[in-house]
Structure 1
Amino acid sequence: MPESIFDFPAYTAGYGLSNGHFQTIFPYLLRRVRVPFVRSRLELEDGDFLLLDTLAQENKSSPWLVISHGLEGSTDAHYVHGIAKAFYAAGWSVQAWNFRSCGGEMNRLPRFYHSGAYDDLQRVVAHVEQAHGAEHIFLSGFSMGGNKTVLALADKKLSPAVIGGAAYSVPLDLTDSAFQLSRPAQSVYMKRFLKNLKPKIEYKARKFPKLVSATGYDEIKNFHQFDNRYTAPLHGFDSALEYWTSCSSKPALKKLKRPTLIVNAQNDPFLSHSCKDCRCRDRSRNLHMELPISGGHVGFARWRINQPLWTEMRALSFANNLLSGRT
Structure 2
Amino acid sequence: MSIKSPFTPPWWAANPHIQTILPVMFKVAKPDTFRQRQELPDGDFIDLDWLGQPQNGDPILVITHGLEGSTESHYVRRMLVEANKAKLCSVVHHHRGCSGEPNRLARSYHSGDFEDLAFTLQQLKMYYPDSPLYAVGYSLGGNVLAKYQGSKQNQSLLDRAVIVSAPLTLSACAKKLESGFSTVYQSHLIKRLQKKMLEKLDNHNLVAQMPLSKAELQQLNTFYQFDDKVTAPLHGFAGVDDYYTRSSALSLLKHISKPTLIIHAKDDPFMTEAVIPTQDELSAEVNYELHLSGGHVGFIDGGWPWKPRFYLEKRIINFLLTDPQVSSRKGDTA
Q: TM-score, normalised by structure 1?
A: 0.92
Structure 1 runs not aligned, ≥5 long? none
Alignment partner for residue 123 of structure 2, among 127, 135, 148? Answer: 127
RMSD: 2.1
Alignment deviations for residues 297-324 of structure 1 (CA, whole Å, 9 cap, x no partner): 0111233576762111101111112499
> Post-superposition shift, 1:90?
1.1
Aligned to 2:221: 221
Q: 1:306 to 1:35 in 2, by over 3 A?
A: farther
Alignment partner for residue 56 of structure 1, among 52, 59, 74? Answer: 52
Question: Pairwise mapping of residues 41-120 of structure 1 onto structure 2 (< 5 A)?
Answer: 41-57=37-53, 60-120=56-116
State the one-letter code of the partner of 1:295: G
State the one-letter code of the partner of 1:317: N
**Secondary structure of residue in 2 paired with 1:221:** coil
State the one-letter code of the partner of 1:320: L
State the one-letter code of the partner of 1:258: K
Aligned to 1:271: 271
Alignment partner for residue 171 of structure 2, among 170, 175, 184? Answer: 175
State the one-letter code of the partner of 2:100: G
Is contact 1:265–1:293 with CA below 8 Å preserved after alignment?
A: yes
Alignment deviations for residues 5-64 of structure 1 (CA, whole Å, 9 cap, x no partner): x85211111121000011000001222232211111000111000011011246543211
Alignment partner for residue 16 of structure 2, among 1, 14, 20? Answer: 20
Is contact 2:54–2:60 with CA below 8 Å preserved after alignment?
A: no
Q: 1:288 to 1:300 in 2, by over 3 A?
A: same
C-alpha separation in 2, matches of 1:323 and 1:55: 26
| 1:319 and 2:320 aligned | yes
Aligned to 1:291: 290
Aligned to 2:329: none
Extract structure 1 runs of 4+ deviating beyond 6 A: none
C-alpha separation in 2, matches of 1:14 and 1:21: 14
State the one-letter code of the partner of 1:195: K
> Post-superposition shift, 1:183?
1.2
Pairs aligned (count): 320
Alignment deviations for residues 66-125 of structure 1 (CA, whole Å, 9 cap, x no partner): 000000111211111211211221121111111001110000011000001111111111
C-alpha separation in 2, matches of 1:139 and 1:261: 10
The alignment-based identity, stated in percent, is 32
Q: TM-score, normalised by structure 2?
A: 0.90
Which stretch shifts more, 224-233 or 78-87?
A: 78-87
